[in-house]
Every structure is written in C-alpha cells, then in structure tokens.
Structure 1
Amino acid sequence: MPHDTTITTPRSGRTTVDSSVVAKATSAHRKRRATVWAIRLALVAGWLVSWELTATYWIDPFFYSKPSAVWQRLVEWFTVGTSQGSIWEQIEVTLQEAVLGFALGALAGVVLGILLGRSRLLAEICAPFIKAANAVPRIVLAALFVLWFGLGMTSKVATAFVLVFFAVFFNAFQGAREVDRNLVNNARVLGASRLRVLTSIVVPSATSWILASLHIAFGFALIGAVVGEFTGASKGLGLLINRSQNMYDAPGIYAGMIVITVIALLAEWLLSVLEKRLLRWRPQAGGTEVRV
C-alpha cells in the first residue's frame, strides 16, 4: 500500500503528496545519473581508443606514449616498484607534504581572512603586501624554499602552504565581508560581544565560502608538493615524474599524472562528504523540507 509524503513549506504549511510522485521523481533521477555516467564512460573509452590507435599508426609513441604503455608502467610500479623504491612510499611522502601544507595553509587562510574581513583598517594596511606576495611566481618560491629548508619535507610543505593559503584566504575574506550587517547589528543590540558575533554569526556565514575554497585548495596542496619535489627532493611523486622526464620515459610521466589525479579525486570526494556533514544545519534550497 503506497504511503503519502508530507512536504513542509514556510508559507503553505504541510502538503500531502502521493508516494508514487516521489517514486517517479527518484526513478527519473537515477536514470539521469545512469545516463550521465554512461556518456562519461563512453567519452573516456573513445578518447583512450583514439589515443591508442593514433599512437600506433600515426604519431611516435616514444614522445606521446599510449594507454597500453601507461597501463604497463602503472602495473610495474604497483607490483615491482619504481626506480626510487616502492610506489606506496612515494605516494605516502607526497601525501604527507600535501596534507600538512593543506592543513596549515587552510588554518592560516581562514584565521587571517576572517580577521581582515571584519577589520577594515587592517585590510587597508595589509592589502598591498598580500597582493604583492600573491603575485610572486610559485615556482620561484619553490626554488627559494629548497635553498632555505633543503631537500626534505619542510620545503615541500612550505610550497603547498603558500598555494593553499591564498586560495582559502580570499574566500574567507570575502565570506566575512558578505555577512548581513543587519544581523550583526541586531546581535550587538541584544548584548552579544564581538567574540560571540564572530563565532555565532560571522564564521557560520562564511562557512560555505571557506568550504568552497577547500575543494580547490587540496589540489593546490598537491601541486605545491609535486612542484617542490620536481625542484629538488629525495622521494615523492614529483621526483618520480622528474626522473621519468630526464629518462624520456613518457609512460612514466603519464603514470605519475594519473596517480596524482586519483589522489586529488579521492580528496575531493572526502571533502564533499565533510561538507555535507558540516552543512546539515542549513535549510534546504527554497526552504522546503520533505518527510516520508
């Protein structure tokens, strides 16, 4: 026996909808997702087949490689190992550098972004310095960090930190600026302290801005770690790609890119799950709540 679905709206109160409508909508959504994934897989398969055929019959695979050679290199890395040792060790080193740079850069970006976003005087004082620091090419900073901190993990963390910091800072700054002034003024009239306003109104309002920046920030952290390893390192995926380049090993370069891409996609998925959990308190779009 079908059950009814209750939809609660702010204006009209509760409206009862037959469960068959919800079932049809769910079925349509699943079919659409299946269609989207089928098209995606078809595009990837078509691209790989065309690349394989082109590299086999028309272009030189020595320079451009081909999917079968890249797959063989990946299998070799994960079964036999790489020229630098176990592939898992290289992944672990790069992940440690990226995660540390991401955590430190995100924390500093959020704190300074909100602080300057709520203080117009500090923002005006620091604006030219922040813009000047953001304009410095990252590859130059990576080279300087290697000179300052050596070939160890510190120089890679510093490079990742710089990339993450600016990505998060500008979003946190804008999020703090976009807070409803009327809401802040009403809270102050009711006796809320500056700290209370910051923790109860400003930070929650800027959360969506901050989380949006975190989605791209981890990718920047990986880029920073890899660029630092490419500049100078003893272990890591960036070093592995650098050695492959020096040996004209095109499959090795592509294989390293694929491993980094998979790590970035997994991190994006984890951040999406975290975002959904942190934003459960927010009302659904249109202020509509569905109960079955």
Structure 2
Amino acid sequence: MEREIRNVTLDDMKLSYEVYGEGNTVILCFHGNGRSAEDFRFLARKTRKIISVHLFLHGFSTFSPTRIHDDLITTEHVEKLLEKLLTKEKVNNFHWVAYSQGGRFTLSAFPAFAHRVKSMFLIAPDGLDDNNFYSWSQRQWWTRKLFKRWVEKPEELMKISRGLAKVKIIHPKLVTFLDFYTSDQEKFKMAYKTWSAFRDLRPSNEEVKHVLDKHSINFNMIIGAHDKIITSKSATQFLEKIDQSEALKIIPYGHDIFKPHIEKELLALMPFEDFD
C-alpha cells in the first residue's frame, strides 16, 4: 500500500503523519520511542483509513530544538495539532492505537477527544505512573544534567546503576531498563531528548477515568508478560485506579513486540468495528 506523508502545523511545530487507505473506518496510531509510524502498516485494510502519526523527534515531525529543554511540548499543543489533523482528514469518529511513548501522548490528549473515540488499544503504554522513578527523574534539573553527561558516557551510568542495585538502593529492573537504552548510543541520545522534551505530558488518571465513565469506549491495554519497561504490575495498578481492570490483556513477549511473528496475535486482540 502506497505511503503518503501529510502535515499539520502550529507555530514552530510540524506534526507529520502517514495515511494508508481511504476506508470509512479510521484508526489513529501513535508509535513508540525510536520506532516508526510504519509500525502500524499491518493494520491496513481496504475498509480502513490508517492515520499513523510521527512523534516529534521522529520521522518528519519537527519543532524548535529549544523545546528539548525549555518551552516544552504540552498536552494543549498535542490537542490543538490533533484537532487540526482530524479536521484536515474530515474525521468524526475513530479508533485509537498507541504503543509505548505514543501512549503518553495518547493518554494525555485522550480526555479532549473521548467523545469521538470508539475503541482504544494501548500497547505497553508509557505514562501510567507519574510518581515512578522514570517520571520523577524527568522533572529534576540535576538528573537531566546527569543524563546529558551519560549520553556521552553510558558505561559510567551502567557502572553506577549496577552498584546501586547491588546495595539495593535501586531496583534491578531499573538496571535492565537503562541497559536497554545504553546498548545503542543513538537510541540512548534519542531516549534522552524525548525524555526531556516530553516531560510536561503528564496524563491525569482522574480525567481518564471521568471520560471513560461518561462515554462508551472499548478500552484495552496489551502488555508483554516479560516486559521489563512497562510491567504488567504497573498496568494493573493504573487500570485499578481508573476502574478498568478487565481491560488488561497479557501476551507472552517483552517490550519489543512489533515483529512479524507477533502481528497476528496483536490483530486478534484488536477487533475494530467498521463504520458505516
């Protein structure tokens, strides 16, 4: 299926997205950190229009470099850009699919669009816990300064984190999390930039719960049983807070699930109702 890139803009921000198909059933997709909008091409069908967004710092979406540290991307920015996108594409109602960091964008903006969302499938979404180490450290100037240094010296970070885990100051899972990113310097640089630039995107559990109580939405969360980054425990705790415990679906994989042999399982867990 042909790849087509389209854009919407707001001030210095350009949000790019890909469109596959022209069907009446619209699926809006947000990819993860270090991933591509093309991850969702496997959802395409003749009856569907797939709108797959490029997150900032990925693909063709751009903003002023100053937004990595100051004048950060906010939920309001995301909402305004999405409204422009939906207006441009003449979309009234849609299904929403998001993976990993795309889940942080999605959960932040979701309350503003809930009345138009028919179903939501969050795959290992970021943004479930605003009080964990990952979210807390985003908001500390000194941790951001340290991570900027460690982007150039990842071996120093791993040595320190393993030592802290050994004396039980930090959890071993945090070491696994850091090792995942520091194993590839370009991936680590990207992670640092997005970690810094997107730190003001903070989903509200109360708002998410409120709109789910108000609207009839098929809400789902898919988590890998062996995921060390977005764990089934964190997903369960989040879903309990928003009264959606039955939304959890666990599959026997880790965090990296966009692989050909897993696509069929994902499709089976995401039945999209066609629009007239």
Q: Same fold (TM over 0.5)?
A: no
**Whose helix proportion is higher, 1 or 2?**
1
Q: TM-score, normalised by structure 1?
A: 0.23
Q: Does 1 or 2 have the higher relative contact order (CA < 8 Å, sep 6+)?
A: 1
- Which structure has the larger Rg over C-alpha atoms? 1
With structure 2 as the length reference, what TM-score do the two structures score? 0.23
